[in-house]
């Protein structure tokens, strides 16, 4: 039986994680935790908000597990830092995996992973620690995503792909078969990656250009009703 959990964070990411933890995965969230400098409320979602500095005293690690629910700031290094902090304090970090994605039995994933429905994770996929996969993403067979990586909604990762540590894969990115992505890479929205990347590469697609016409004129010219 799972222990009650403490969620680190009280922002929008924490709100989404809290929803899945409680409503889909059956976790009991006992409290929320943030660093004292950011604790501007004493209660959130009907649960206490405590500072990191007082966490162990109020919620001992032998009685509670934890989950770090912060975003991809600085290529996920903030979330990585807070994971290491809580582990150092003795907490076991759980993973929150939506049961509606029908995870294959041969999928391997580490601690502090979050997989939102309706993602599609193929057989023989390996996810490291602290990997977030947002709704609508596809991770193809035999692919491996290393620690502290974020895969955003609608991203498509083909089969036998390897993604390094601390990467950010934005909305609607496509990575083709057997491509290797180095550590600390940033792949912007709508980009296509068909060749392997070394560490610290940035791939960005240009924005679609706005037409030089206002919407009313556009509708009239093209007879769109």
Per-residue pLDDT tens over the stretch 21-45: 999 999 999 999 999 998 989 999 9
| CATH code reported for the domain at 97-225 | 2.160.10.10
Report how far residue 175's alpha carbon sits from residue 178's, in angstroms, rounded to the nearest whole number: 9
Q: How confident is the model at residue 207 (pLDDT cuts 50, 70, 90)?
A: confident
Task: Please give the span between the terminal C-alpha atoms of the chain, in angstroms, as a whole number.
Answer: 57
Name the helix (H) or strand (E) containing 81. helix 73-88
What's the pLDDT score for residue 221?
A: 81
Ordered strands of the 192-193 beta sheet: 120-121, 138-139, 156-157, 174-175, 192-193
Tell me: pLDDT of 218 over 90: no
Separation CA 46–CA 36 (nearest Å): 19
Measured CA to CA in angstroms, residue 94 lies from 83, 141, 149, 206 at distances of 11, 24, 16, 38
- Say if domain 5-94 classifies as CATH 3.30.420.60: no
The domain spans of the chain are 5-94, 97-225
- Would you state the pLDDT for residue 59? 97
Task: Give residue 210's pLDDT.
Answer: 86
pLDDT exceeds 90 at position 125: yes
Residue 211: pLDDT band (50, 70, 90) is confident
Backbone angles phi, psi at 65, to 5 degrees: -100, 180
Q: How confident is the model at residue 109 (pLDDT cuts 50, 70, 90)?
A: very high
Q: What is the pLDDT averaged over residues 192-211?
A: 94
Q: Summarize pLDDT for 50-85 with one digit per residue, the tens.
A: 999 999 999 999 999 999 999 999 999 999 999 999
Residue 205 pLDDT grade (very low, low, confident, very high; cuts 50, 70, 90):
very high
């Amino acid at each position: 039986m799972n222990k009650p959990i403490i969620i680190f964070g009280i922002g929008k990411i924490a709100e989404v994680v809290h929803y899945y933890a409680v409503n889909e995965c059956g976790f009991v969230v006992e409290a929320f935790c943030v660093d004292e400098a950011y604790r501007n409320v004493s209660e959130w979602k009907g649960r206490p908000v405590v500072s990191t500095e007082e966490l162990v005293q109020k919620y001992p690690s032998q009685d509670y597990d934890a989950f770090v629910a912060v975003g991809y700031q600085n290529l996920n290094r903030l979330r990585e830092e807070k994971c290491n902090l809580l582990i150092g304090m003795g907490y076991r970090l759980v993973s929150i995996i939506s049961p509606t994605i029908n995870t294959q039995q041969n999928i391997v994933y580490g601690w502090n992973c979050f997989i939102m429905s309706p993602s599609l994770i193929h057989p023989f996929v390996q996810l490291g620690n602290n990997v977030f996969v947002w709704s609508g993403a596809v991770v193809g067979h035999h692919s491996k995503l290393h620690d502290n990586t974020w895969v955003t909604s609608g991203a498509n990762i083909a089969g036998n792909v390897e993604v390094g540590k601390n990467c950010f894969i934005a909305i609607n990115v496509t990575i083709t078969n057997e491509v290797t992505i180095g550590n600390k890479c940033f792949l912007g929205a709508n980009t296509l990656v068909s060749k392997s990347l070394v560490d610290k590469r940035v791939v960005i697609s240009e924005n679609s250009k706005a037409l030089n016409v206002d919407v009313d004129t556009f509708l009239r010219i093209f007879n769109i009703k």
